[in-house]
Structure 1
């Protein structure tokens, strides 16, 4: 499965910046849906964050997803890679 990677940086209430990638099928072009996936992920965190918008989340590149990631995207619609300050 070919996917689009959306590089995302969101400020936390404690001043740290979360960095995570939102992975979606490469044919998904509806920005509100992609940002909705990011907001869904943020809602699982025990701390408050700033809003997620085009300022914080930008298309980065396309790549081939590993099978395990492709399986999750097929079922859930997206996959998150936590990079920094997501805990």
Structure 2
């Protein structure tokens, strides 16, 4: 399965930067509202609810082949997150 990757940067409440990718099925590539909703769910899970997440912070990057872990996440919750920087501190 191919997935669309959205490169995302969010300023945390403490001023630091979170960098993560939101991966969704390719049929959602043009549904930025849904992708942003998924990003906001992830931010809430990380204690960062209410931080801005819009087109300037979250942009379509590319399409790639999904791994088994990504497919499991998408089947369970509709999206997958790859944490890149500043997501766990």
**TM-score normalized with structure 2 length:** 0.89
1:3-14 to structure 2, matched below 5 A, reads 3-14=3-14
Residues 47 and 41 of structure 1, relative CA distance in 2, 3 Å threshold: closer
Q: Hey, what does 2:78 align to over in structure 1?
A: 77
Cα RMSD between the aligned structures? Answer: 1.4
Corresponding position: 1:18 with 2:8: no
- Contact preservation (8 Å) 1:22, 1:38: yes
Q: Distance in 1 between matches of 2:7 and 2:67?
A: 18
4+ residue runs over 4 A deviation:
none
**TM-score normalized with structure 1 length:** 0.91
Question: Any stretches of 5+ residues in structure 1 without a counterpart?
Answer: none
Q: Distance in 1 between matches of 2:19 and 2:69?
A: 22
Q: Distance in 2 between matches of 1:49 and 1:36?
A: 12
| Greater share of residues in helix | 2
Q: Distance in 1 between matches of 2:21 and 2:87?
A: 11
Question: Any stretches of 5+ residues in structure 2 without a counterpart?
Answer: none
- Contact preservation (8 Å) 1:10, 1:49: no
